[in-house]
Structure 1
């Protein structure tokens, strides 16, 4: 009994320290879109900007291509070049699903490793499906994707304003080099 009390005391102390160490927490609005025509969303998207994270570090010319799989899930192919547009080609193939398409069509789950899924939240989507702002349940991830390798300045500024209104720090975005459209 005494050992159990000691263990509980230590666990309680550490859990108190853990919550006490959090000084500030950024809160972002992760509300997703209410409607999604998945058929229109599929296809190739160019990564315009992203927050830095290890799984895309130093990649340029990044694209995400979505298509249907035979099992009804979505095939995801993320591709890019290491360090330069002439660099080593990297490709990651994964899958995505819509856990609740009726109630939350903009909340998807994406997996690139076995059964482990991550949030893929469609925060903002152009009515013509020409650009999209992607986030997750965390404020650590943010992407701007476009159907073209570049966006017009006015459109980009509008997207950045939408991200800032949601509480994202757009100064942390990394601008992804893309080949110019021919």
Structure 2
């Protein structure tokens, strides 16, 4: 989302201290609208997805170059890996891998992610373009979300169109934060005013 694997232990910690964790009130007038999972071809959905922007969990906020890497297992579950670099591109890449169980009766897009037995949390797909190039994964309470791309960049018009869809779904789009994917100097492609989001 973003992405899914790094949530692991920190998601569990977040659940345990949720009373002490500040999540802004969602002021979107559609905040209470239920989310509808979309249907997807699970094998085609596998592979690497770059995190273009997210409503991040607290452990994701200092990461750059974040990506999700999903691998379908022989038993039908998914090896759910999150890759990234904490504090900057000069830092070593980290990787965490957990297991996700897709609910096949829920169009393959609702996954139970297990960070630590017996704890699980739900992440679902609410948007996927027909060419499987862009997708959005979210938690059902709309507290966290991830805009993902097969490439480490995204046209600004595509990004804005996805934000509009999420606004219609009831997300507080002001909470989305871009995730740097390339170590670029100021004024280069991907900086404010350019035609790609990186």
TM-score category of the 2 structures, normalised to the smaller one: 0.7 to 0.9
The residue aligned with 1:121 is 124
List runs of 5+ in structure 2 lacking aligned partners: 1-24, 184-198
- Which residue, out of 111, 130, 135, partners 2:114? 111
- Which residue, out of 47, 71, 75, partners 1:71? 75
What does 1:70-109 correspond to in 2, within 5 Å? 70-99=74-103, 101-109=104-112
Greater Rg by CA: 1
| d(CA) in 1 for partners of 2:50, 2:180 | 10
The residue aligned with 1:6 is none
- Number of residue pairs the alignment of both structures matches: 155
**RMSD (Å), alpha carbons:** 1.7
User: In the alignment, does 2:51 pair up with 1:51?
Assistant: no
The residue aligned with 2:139 is 136
List runs of 5+ in structure 1 lacking aligned partners: 1-23
Instruction: Name the stretch that deviates more: 75-84 or 50-59.
Output: 50-59
Matched-pair contact (CA < 8 Å) for 2:37–2:106: no
The residue aligned with 1:147 is 150
| d(CA) in 1 for partners of 2:34, 2:65 | 29
The residue aligned with 1:161 is 164
The residue aligned with 1:174 is 177
Cα drift, residue 72 of structure 1:
2.2
User: In the alignment, does 2:16 pair up with 1:31?
Assistant: no
The residue aligned with 1:18 is none
| d(CA) in 1 for partners of 2:106, 2:151 | 30
Tell me the TM-score normalised to structure 1 length. 0.79
Q: Secondary structure at the match of 1:139?
A: coil
